[in-house]
Amino acid sequence: MTSALPTPDTLEAVPSAVEAALEAFFARAIPVAADIDPQVGAAGEVLRDFVLQGGKRVRPVFAYAGWLAGLESSARDPAPGPEAPSAHDALRVAASLELVQACALIHDDIIDRSDTRRGHATVHRVFERSHLDDRWAGDAAHHGVAAAILLGDLALAWADDMVHGHRPGDATEPGESAPRALPAAVGRVWSSMRTEVLGGQYLDIVNEAGGDESVGAAYRVMRFKTAAYTVARPLELGATLASAPAPLISDLRSIGHDLGVAFQLRDDLLGVFGDPERTGKPSGDDLVAGKRTALLAVGLARAGERDPALAARLRAAIGRPLTDDEVRGARAILTDVGAVDEIETQIEGLLATALATLATADMSDPVRVELSVFAHRIAHRST
Amino acid sequence: MTSALPTPDTLEAVPSAVEAALEAFFARAIPVAADIDPQVGAAGEVLRDFVLQGGKRVRPVFAYAGWLAGLESSARDPAPGPEAPSAHDALRVAASLELVQACALIHDDIIDRSDTRRGHATVHRVFERSHLDDRWAGDAAHHGVAAAILLGDLALAWADDMVHGHRPGDATEPGESAPRALPAAVGRVWSSMRTEVLGGQYLDIVNEAGGDESVGAAYRVMRFKTAAYTVARPLELGATLASAPAPLISDLRSIGHDLGVAFQLRDDLLGVFGDPERTGKPSGDDLVAGKRTALLAVGLARAGERDPALAARLRAAIGRPLTDDEVRGARAILTDVGAVDEIETQIEGLLATALATLATADMSDPVRVELSVFAHRIAHRST
Q: What is the CATH number of the domain that holds B292?
A: 1.10.600.10
CB A123 within 8 A of CB A43: no
ipTM, interface predicted TM-score of the complex: 0.95
Alpha-carbon distances of B176 from A70, A293, B1, B134, B162, rounded to whole Å: 25, 40, 9, 42, 16
Return d(Cα A84, Cα A72) in angstroms, integer. 15
Please report whether residue A304 resides in a domain: yes
Give per-residue pLDDT as tens, A124-157. Answer: 999 999 999 999 988 999 999 999 999 999 999 9
Indicate the residue of A145, A170, A203 with minimum beta-carbon distance to B188.
A170
> Do A276 and A135 belong to one domain?
no
What is the arithmetic mean of pLDDT over B295-322? 94
Boundary of a domain, candidates B149, B180, B211: B180
Q: Among B265, B203, B236, B200, which residue's Cα sits nearest to residue B97? A: B236
Return d(Cα B185, Cα B197) in angstroms, integer. 19
Interface mutation target, options A40, A96, A221, chain B, most CBs of B under 10 Å: A40
> Do B134 and B233 belong to one domain?
no
- Chain B residue numbers with beta carbons less than 8 Å from the beta carbon of A181 are 181-182, 184
Interface mutation target, options B109, B139, B166, chain A, most CBs of A under 10 Å: B166
Residues A150, B205: C-beta atoms closer than 8 Å: yes
Return d(Cα A20, Cα A325) in angstroms, integer. 45
Boundary of a domain, candidates B128, B158, B180: B180
> Do B197 and B261 belong to one domain?
yes
CA distance B249 to chain A (A): 12
At residue B175, does pLDDT exceed 60?
no
What is the arithmetic mean of pLDDT over B274-298? 87
At residue A319, does pLDDT exceed 90?
no
> Do A284 and A374 belong to one domain?
yes
Radius of gyration of chain A (CA): 22
Residues A199, B33: C-beta atoms closer than 8 Å: yes
Query: In this predicted structure, what is the pLDDT of residue B30?
Result: 96
Residues B192, A184: C-beta atoms closer than 8 Å: no
Indicate the residue of B113, B168, B201 with minimum beta-carbon distance to A150.
B201
> Do B141 and B211 belong to one domain?
no
> Do A258 and A369 belong to one domain?
yes
Indicate the residue of A29, A138, A160 with minimum beta-carbon distance to B160.
A160
> Do A218 and A315 belong to one domain?
yes
> Do B239 and B295 belong to one domain?
yes
With a CB cutoff of 8 Å and minimum separation 6, the contacts of B133 are: none
At residue B201, does pLDDT exceed 90?
yes
The better pLDDT of the pair A278, B252 is held by B252
> Do A141 and A205 belong to one domain?
no
CA distance B150 to chain A (A): 6
- Chain A residue numbers with beta carbons less than 8 Å from the beta carbon of B187 are 161, 164-166, 179
Interface mutation target, options A149, A173, A223, chain B, most CBs of B under 10 Å: A149
> Do A153 and A246 belong to one domain?
no
Q: Among B271, B177, B255, B256, which residue's Cα sits nearest to residue B224? A: B256
Number of domains in chain B: 2
> Do A91 and A195 belong to one domain?
no
CB A120 within 8 A of CB B193: no
Boundary of a domain, candidates A116, A135, A170: A170
> Do B92 and B105 belong to one domain?
yes
Residues B157, A36: C-beta atoms closer than 8 Å: no
Indicate the residue of B136, B168, B187 with minimum beta-carbon distance to A191.
B168
Query: In this predicted structure, what is the pLDDT of residue A1?
Result: 42
Domain range for residue A27? 1-75+84-170
Whole-model pTM: value is 0.95
